[in-house]
Amino acid sequence: MPRAVILGCSHAAGSEMEQDPGLAPEQQQFGFGLLNSYPVHIAQDLGYSAENRAISGGSNDAMFRIFTEQLDSLTAADLVIACWTGHNRTEIWHEGHQLWLALNPGRTGFNTVRYDDQVLTGIDTGIPVSHHAEYVNYQRQWLRVGTGIAAGRLNKIKNILALNASAADRGIRVVNIDSFAAVERFAWPATVNWAVDTTFLSWADQHNYSKTSGQHYFFAAHRAYADLILDSIR
């Protein structure tokens, strides 16, 4: 079966979906969202094997990096579902742990991860990385001088253009979706095709779907948004 590589942040990873009160008790467990987020439904309904490589707190920089890591193993029969995320995010390499650390305004600390066959980007161990204070201080400095609407917008555009151009060069189909923070007033080239013109968060909010205190939506919103995308791209 062809692969669908899913890229994105916590919304593509289905974070906190296991808190859905409508789920059966056996479904209310960590990892449920990874198997039931909106891009997973899209992939499976199109006949692909879903490979969810989304990262909670992940950035557009991380999406492009993971795409390049997977590129040599992808063929024209495969699919990339790119669920683009917010502007003011990036990542930094921790040499000691050989680990990428996500930087974003909501991040308060950095832990090591335990690699897992299902959670492909690793499970948080709760154990801080070495030289933890230095990375916390780096993020504080980055938030002061490395973020901003204009810079973040350009960075998102760069990642979208680069991913789609690289995929088009190899004949790999990309489904582009915004989980949130869409780039407005930009003329995308023919290599960049958008499934719909509404973000997942905006659409789910407009339709009054239930969500967690962490602003993550439950199964019903993911399933319905996937149906919206499928109706558009089939």
132-162: pLDDT as tens digits? 999 999 999 999 887 788 889 999 999 999 9
* Length in residues, the chain: 234
Q: How far apart are CA 195 and CA 207, in angstroms?
A: 19
**Topology annotation, domain 3-233:** Rossmann fold (3.40.50)
Q: What is the pTM of this model?
A: 0.96
Q: Tell me the per-residue pLDDT of 41-98, one tens digit each, with 9 for 90 and over.
A: 999 999 999 999 999 999 999 999 999 999 999 999 999 999 999 999 999 999 999 9
Give the per-residue pLDDT at 106. Answer: 86
Q: What is the bridge-based pairing of β-strands 99-103 and 90-94?
A: antiparallel
Domain ranges of the chain: 3-233
Contact status, residue 78 vs residue 48, Cβ threshold 8 Å: yes
